[in-house]
Amino acid sequence: MTTLLVIAKEPLPGRVKTRLTPPFTPQEAARLAEAALADTLHAVAATPATRRILVLDGRPGDWLPSGFEVLPQCAGGLDERLADAFAHCAGPALLIGMDTPQVTPELLTVDFTGCDAWFGPAQDGGFWALGLAAPDPALVRGVPMSTPETGAVQRERLLAAGLRVRDLPRLRDVDTAADARAVAALAPHGRFAARLARCTPVGSR
């Protein structure tokens, strides 16, 4: 089976989901981030895996279900932090972030038979998932992150290394209020959708 990794930040006001402010307050944005992280972790917890690892910037809270190892993120840019996360894995591994609370165990149950990598493109041009049959930090290190070309560059890096790549469905990250509404509609019964329903955007107060 596969090691499942989630890379995340502790959901603290002013440190997460800053593009949600406005229309939401920093406290509401942090609560939305916590709900997105909780939905993500529970989907991972329900997925068959060899190991489940939370690679965390910060400290775990009561949103963390049982069965996870917690590793601190290393210093450096996002590419360095992703590379370091893969360095902790000896066998097949799938890494995701905390921005896709609509993710399901079915999406995360990947089979590396006949392929070397799984790639999950994001709607904003990045990627929400990266799976490697033989984790090699060099496959991620140096890829420019948080640009509209990040996903294309990362996927090309895999192909240039001679890997056989399979694609996961394109998902929408939660970055803006419009993203939040769209993602909540895709998973209306999740913690994220419930939390969004309790938030009041500026101008509606």
Residue 86: name the closest of 137, 46, 130, 122 by CA: 137
Q: What is the pLDDT of residue 204?
A: 53
Encode pLDDT of 125-172 as tens digits. 999 999 999 999 999 999 999 999 999 999 999 999 999 999 999 999
12: pLDDT strictly greater than 50: yes
* Pairing between β-strand 127-132 and β-strand 117-121 as defined by DSSP bridges: antiparallel
pTM above 0.75, yes or no: yes
Helices (H), the chain: 26-45, 78-87, 105-108, 150-160, 177-186, 191-197
Residue 40: name the closest of 122, 119, 111, 95 by CA: 95
Would you place residue 1 in the very low, low, confident or very high pLDDT band (cuts 50, 70, 90)? confident
Residue type, 4: L
Q: Dihedral sign, CA of 9, 41, 197, 177?
A: positive
Q: Give the whole-angstrom CA distance, residue 66 versus residue 142.
A: 33
**Distance linking the first and last C-alpha atoms of the chain:** 49
Q: What is the pLDDT of residue 167?
A: 98
Q: Give the whole-angstrom CA distance, residue 46 versus residue 109.
A: 10
Q: Give the whole-angstrom CA distance, residue 164 versus residue 116.
A: 5
Average pLDDT of span 80-86 = 98
Average pLDDT of span 2-20 = 97
